[in-house]
Copies of this chain bind each other. A is one copy, B any other.
Amino acid sequence: MARAYVTRRVHFNAAHRMDNPDKSGDWNRTTFGKCNSPNWHGHNYVLEVTVAGTPDSETGYVMDLSELKQIIQERIIAKCDHSNLNMDVDFLRGVLPSTENLAIAFWQQLEPALPEHSLHVVRLYETERNFVEYRGE
């Protein structure tokens, strides 16, 4: 009953800015610096989704990766790719789009569509130099 961790890597391009609407412009500029830049900036986000489980004895798969890819496509990429993460995405309404909050929101989008307890970690790269993991803790 070996347990393996299977990861699928996808990408999307989006605009965002860090701006807390409950705070003043000064607070936002001081807190977020250039990430508060008024007319948005953007990233090539890279998303890695890891599911855990026992490989099926007939298929050798923990999960069919084309099925996992399809779930990520429908629940994340179709909504976030070439979008404005502050304005355009239904499940991000009211979410300050830090990499942390995006990773948590993506987990919440994916978890109900996956076999129970199978989602292990969501890793989101904002750039090659900055990334966040969320494990449902």
Contacts and interface: CB of A to CB of B under 8 A. Distances in A.
A73 interface: no
A88 interface: yes
Nearest to A99: B6
A65 B61 CA distance: 31
A66 B61 CA distance: 33
A13 B127 contact: yes
A91 interface: no
A32, A60, A130 — most chain B CB neighbours (10 Å): A60
Nearest to A65: B130
B39 A9 contact: no
Interface in A78-134: 81-84, 87-88, 95-101, 103-104, 127-134
Nearest to A41: B82
Contacts of A130: 6-9, 65
A26 interface: no
B127 A37 contact: no
Interface of A: 2-11, 13-16, 18, 20, 22-23, 31-35, 37, 39-44, 50, 55, 58-62, 65-66, 81-84, 87-88, 95-101, 103-104, 127-135, 137
